[in-house]
């Protein structure tokens, strides 16, 4: 199971290869959780999705559930196709600070030092 998840995550993370100059901490992102100021993190990239909220096919409420947080697992868990990243590219404002990034691939590897169940910013991944 972990091998399948690892392969899928590798492909999904490759689709997140945007280049930006600005870096933000999770603390900075967490200040932007309002309807008129909504940021999310997906694949270590920070997005100001405020102008996208009304356009999101799943509605505003689901976006607001993840406002100010890392929404990577929720984004891909919702069944978004990797090409969906193209739709949100214009909203990318930077990257997550290097020291706060989570390596999803390594955390699911069989020889990982982490438990098979771990949490970050309210996101839980389990086998």
pLDDT tens for residues 69-111?
999 888 877 777 777 778 888 999 999 999 988 766 554 444 4
Q: Note the pLDDT of residue 107.
A: 46
Its domain, for residue 53, covers: 18-96
> 115 lies in a domain?
no
Within a domain: residue 124? no
Please state the separation of Cα 46 from the chain's center in Å.
8
* 122 falls within a domain: no
Higher pLDDT, 115 or 75: 75
What is the bridge-based pairing of β-strands 92-96 and 23-24? parallel
Q: Tell me, what CATH number does 80's domain have?
A: 3.10.120.10
Domain contains 69: yes
76 and 16 Cβ atoms separated by less than 8 Å:
no
Residue at 91 is within a domain: yes
Q: Which residue has the higher pLDDT, 107 or 114?
A: 107
Count of structural domains within the chain: 1
Residue 80 domain-assigned?
A: yes
Residues 41 and 47: beta-carbon distance below 8 Å: yes
Is 57 contained in some domain?
yes
Residue 127 lies in a domain: no
Confidence class for position 10, pLDDT limits 50, 70, 90: low
């Amino acid at each position: 199971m972990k091998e399948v998840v690892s392969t899928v995550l590798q492909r999904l993370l490759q689709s997140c290869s945007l280049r930006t100059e600005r870096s933000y901490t999770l603390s900075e992102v967490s200040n932007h959780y309002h309807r008129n100021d909504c940021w999310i993190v997906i694949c270590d990239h920070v997005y100001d999705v405020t102008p996208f909220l009304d356009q999101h096919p799943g509605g505003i409420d689901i976006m607001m559930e993840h406002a100010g947080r890392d929404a990577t697992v929720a984004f891909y868990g919702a069944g978004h196709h990797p090409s969906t990243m193209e739709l949100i590219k214009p909203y990318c404002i930077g990257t997550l600070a290097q020291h706060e990034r989570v390596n999803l691939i390594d955390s699911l590897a069989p020889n990982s030092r982490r438990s098979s169940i771990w949490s970050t910013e309210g996101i839980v991944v389990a086998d």
